[in-house]
Structure formats: C-alpha cells, structure tokens
Homo-oligomer: A and B are copies of this chain.
Amino acid sequence: MRNLRLDICYDGTRYRGWQRLTGVENTIQGKLEQTLSTILGEPVEISGSGRTDAGAHAAHQVANFHCHSQMPAEQILLELRRYLPEDIGIHSCREAGERFHARLNAQTKTYRYRIWNSDRPCVFQRRFVTVVPERLDMEQMKKAASHLLGEHDFSAFCAAKGKKKSTVRRVDAIEIRREGEELVMDFTGNGFLYNMVRIMVGTLVEVGLHQRSADSIPQLFGGQRASAGMLMSARGLCLMEVTY
C-alpha cells in the first residue's frame, strides 16, 4: 500500500477539533477522511501529528494515510482542494516512506497563542485571538516563561483525565513578542499534554496581570491542576509546525 503525507491548514472555528468522533460530523479528521474516501473510492483513515482542540487552528498540521489507489499525489492534491470546504486547506500531498507515521515520528511541535492585548476592535482577527484588554507585563511573562523551559512534570498544566500516563514533557523554547495590538507567544516542545499550552498561557497571563509572581512557577511542577492558571480559550491557539 502507498503511504501519503498531507500538510494541512485549517480555521478550526466551526469544528469540534481534529479527532474524528463517532456521530459527530464536524471534525477536521472526519472531514478529511470523508473527502479522501470519496476521491479515492476506498475507505481511508488518516493519522494526524496530534489532536487539536475544538475551535483551535492549524497553520501547519501533518497527517498520513495509506491507500490502494494509484491516483497521482498531485491529482489527489487538486481534488482535495476542489472538494474540501474553504476553511480547510492543503499545502501539499506527497508520497512518504512506508514507515512514516505523522504522530509517532513527530520530533517537536510549535504552537502559537495570540492574545489581542487591547480594548481596540479586532474584527478581522477575532477568530484567531483571545482578547485580554488589560495591559500585560511582558517582561514578567518572559521571566515566568523561562522557568517553564526544560523537562518537567507538567501535571498542573494538564486537564485532569484520571489516567496514569506520564505527565513529563520537554519545552524547548517559548518566545513572547508584541506585534501591534497583539502579544504573540510561540511554544516549541517534544509534545504537549491535553490543554497544556492553553494552561501555560493562562498561567503566564496571570503573571502578566501581576496576579501571580514569575518566580512562583517552579512550585507548580508535579502539582495539581488547580495550582496552575486558567485555561485560555482555544480560539487563540494555532499549531504552527511539526518537525520530523
């Protein structure tokens, strides 16, 4: 069987997230599988590099799928662009080595979180930002972010699931900068727990509002969910890159 790699982007606003759910139509994975199955005339299951949350976006998601069809990759690309809704885009479709697996082979992921840090209107960006009108103290946020770097037990930054899987992850880089009215935050790591980026951002925002101190961050490692900050809305979250 052929193994094909898809590089994808989407505006997740009207979707229930990446992952196919039984009985739920509007998921990104479900929409892609349905469209590919129709194009190729055979049932297709795709594997994404990871799930994205309901309402979250991707500038660059990676997936792979196997098929029997001999349709050229370039034609699959054109057919996908023709039949997918306009909020799902395909950067490329190409042959992958038979062992390529979008999730298992992923080395690092970069997520961006965009905060509209202003009380001015944001009508054109509103689907892709979360509004925090109070001025955020970016220097304190950068200081707090530096404590999150490295390998830690991020249990406090994970929506409780009652499972016993490891909550240790490695965060390689956090970049925070202003762009006009926005505070843009890029997180790169070897993987992120469920809701981890959104809870890290919520914690950093509380630091930026002087509701918690930058140097209190290390106390959170290995702790309970309640000790870390708020869960930010998914609408500001965007998967930017997956490396292999």
Residues in A lying within 8 Å of B, measured CB to CB: 9-11, 57, 59, 81, 86-91, 119-124, 126, 128
Contact = CB atoms under 8 A, between A and B. Distances in A.
B128 A10 contact: no
Given A11-B126, A59-B124, A124-B128, 13 more contacts: A9-B121, A9-B123, A10-B123, A11-B124, A57-B124, A81-B119, A81-B121, A87-B123, A87-B126, A89-B120, A89-B123, A90-B121, A91-B121
Copies of this chain, how many? Answer: 2
A63 B120 CA distance: 18
Contacts of A119: 81
Contacts of A87: 123, 126
A139 to B, nearest CB: 29
A131 to B, nearest CB: 9
Contacts of A81: 119, 121
A80 B57 CA distance: 29
A86 B124 contact: no
Consensus secondary structure, chain A interface: loop
A123 B123 CA distance: 16
Contact of A91 (B86, B90, B120): B120
A121 to B, nearest CB: 2
A6 B128 CA distance: 26
A147 to B, nearest CB: 32
A11 B127 CA distance: 11
A81 B119 CA distance: 9
Nearest to A8: B121
Closest 5 CB pairs of A and B: A89-B121, A89-B123, A11-B123, A86-B126, A9-B121
A88 B11 contact: no
A60 to B, nearest CB: 10
A81 B59 CA distance: 30
A89 B128 contact: no
A230 B73 CA distance: 34
